[in-house]
A and B are shown apart, each in its own frame.
Chain A
Amino acid sequence: MDEDNNKFNRRNFIKTAGLASGVIALAGAAGAGLAAGSNKDSYTGWGRTAYGEDQFFNRKPFLVDTPTYDKVGETRRIAFIEDLFKRNGELSRLLFPRGDETPLWSFDEGVEKLPEPLKTYYLEHPDALGEFRKAIEKSQEQAGTWDKYKHKYLLADAWSTAHASPIGGQGAFPPQPHGNPEESDFRGVNEETLPLKSPAHGSSLIKQIAYSFGASLVGIAKVKEDWVYQGYMRGVGKIDFEVPEHWKYAVVIAVPHEWDSMYANPTYGTSYDAYSKLRFIAGKLEVFLKEIGYAARSHVPPTSYEIAMPPLAIDAGLGEQGRHGVLVTPELGANTRLAAVTTNMLLEPDKPIDIGIKEFCSKCKICAEECPSGAISFTDKPENVIRGYQRWNINQDKCFTIWNSVATSHARGCRVCLAVCPYSRKNNWIHKIVREVDPRDPTGLFSSAMLAMQKKFFTYPGGQEYLPAPDGNNKTFGEAPDWLMTEEWFNI
């Protein structure tokens, strides 16, 4: 009888313990989820970068022979004046010459009085000049209202300025090239070059070295003439040039912005954190290549480029171009910033990938809906033909006007499109499932379901809300990190 009773009690005990264990396991699942969501280790690019562990997406199933951009006509190189910063720089030098010199041109004189190539450009793009004028006006307004915001955004502004410090001036790294690329790219090159075992060895070595310098993603592409700017060469000046023969390959590197500040765009984020990282990585890679006997030139942000980065990165298999014009990579989403080093070292190029970004972007449109400047296209399919390639094209001039409108000390930029992109998510299990399943679903149903959830579940302030009053309320997409919130540390 006692034995039966014990058996009964033991059985009942296990039944009760089973129920309790089930409840505790559910609580454990909640705790594990909470930890996965808040874990800083799941911010790609800020953890095991030095060992290449941040390039975790298996690209093999998605390799393609032809890149995903569409060539639809005769192609040509990019004139330097088509680059917003180069163009604005040229115009600014006329409007605001150094010292007390009188302006060399004013808006009242009209386009006809502009020097070439500005004149031709603005005759072909009449709206762009008006937009630039608006940007200047907004910049002056911004300077006038900064007093209202300077305490609130003190830490964000200081953080941004600190990151910008290695970018300009005499202490800039990498230093600007001097002279023709045939001189400058070979300056300091070790005269002794050991025989390389194979191009594949070269690629593996350079990738590992780039990772060790801090690159999150690395890819290698042949330099394609279409991506090389025409009309301006650093170290030489305004000049038409052929693509130098020794620019055989480009080592393309990518890093993300610091994630929490990136989500808190436009007022708390900055471009300079990623820019300064890229400059150190690319600059050091340039030195490394020269030390082992190869010519090298780094192409780094914000404006020290001879090559357009996004298409080069597509060729290098890092990702695809999104609706917002920014490269979308499987690991970093749109939170991807790029630099490259051109070299004559014999390397094995990577293949481009197709993970269905174009199809995804054709449905998503969140970046276009959230863009404070309305610069991003809403068309279902890419309709613009840019230099022979069909793609979505952002209105750079409108975008720049907003750079000058947000509540920052000066034109610090706006990265809302990077922050709101559904691909710009942490590397935790829930986003990893989406990241892995979406490109493998040929029906597109999975991405449609995920997008429906994305738009219903998540909070989007709406384009105008990112602007200061009276147009908006200085909203940010994500909550600002406490270490950038002045009120957390100072009495204001």
Chain B
Amino acid sequence: MFPNSTILGPLFWIVMGGLYTISFTGFYYWITDSIIKMNWWKWLLSILWFLGLNITIAGGFTLFGEKEIRAGFWFLSVFGGVFIVLGVGLWRLLTSR
């Protein structure tokens, strides 16, 4: 990540860990304040969806980094599209009574 530093890489991932923690805490508060009733598998699906979205974005940009621009766009379009559809499905599942 930071080729000329041995400290910035670990710091980056510590910050990323903090960001994920805050985002899940915020999501938890938001859910508990809403009418959505969650159970363990709904939490699991939500976490997997967000994780998958992150991996998709990282994957596309990895290909950009390799100068495989066309492959990166295809990757983001196909898997990003899949995750948008899955996200809509997941939302409907979470909000269904």
Interface residues of A (CB under 8 A from B): 11, 14-19, 21-22, 24-26, 28-41, 426, 428-430, 453, 456-459, 478-479
Contact = CB atoms under 8 A, between A and B. Distances in A.
A39 B2 CA distance: 9
Contact of A32 (B1, B33, B64): B1
B65 A18 contact: no
Given A18-B24, A25-B23, A28-B16, A33 B59 contact: yes
Interface residues of B, number: 38
Main secondary structure of the interface of A (DSSP, over half): helix
Given A18-B27, A19-B30, 4 more contacts: A15-B33, A29-B61, A34-B61, A458-B70
Interface of B: 1-3, 12, 15-16, 18-20, 22-27, 29-30, 33, 50, 53-55, 57-68, 70-71, 74-75
Q: Which of A31, A33, A429 has the most CB of B within 10 A?
A: A33
A24 B19 contact: yes
Given A29-B58, A428-B62, A39 B3 contact: yes
B30 A15 contact: yes
22 contacts: A11-B29, A16-B26, A19-B23, A19-B26, A21-B26, A22-B19, A22-B26, A22-B27, A31-B61, A32-B16, A33-B65, A34-B62, A36-B1, A36-B65, A37-B62, A38-B65, A428-B66, A430-B62, A457-B70, A457-B74, A457-B75, A459-B70
Chain B: interface secondary structure? Answer: helix
Contact of B65 (A15, A29, A34, A41): A34
B82 to A, nearest CB: 13
B22 A21 contact: yes
A37 B76 CA distance: 15
Contacts of A30: 57-58, 60-61
Contact of B67 (A32, A456, A479): A479
B70 A18 contact: no
A31 B1 CA distance: 9
Contacts of B24: 18
A37 B19 contact: no
Contact of A38 (B19, B29, B66, B71): B66
B62 to A, nearest CB: 4
Contacts of A41: 3
Contact of B20 (A21, A39, A40): A21
A478 B67 contact: yes
B57 A33 contact: yes
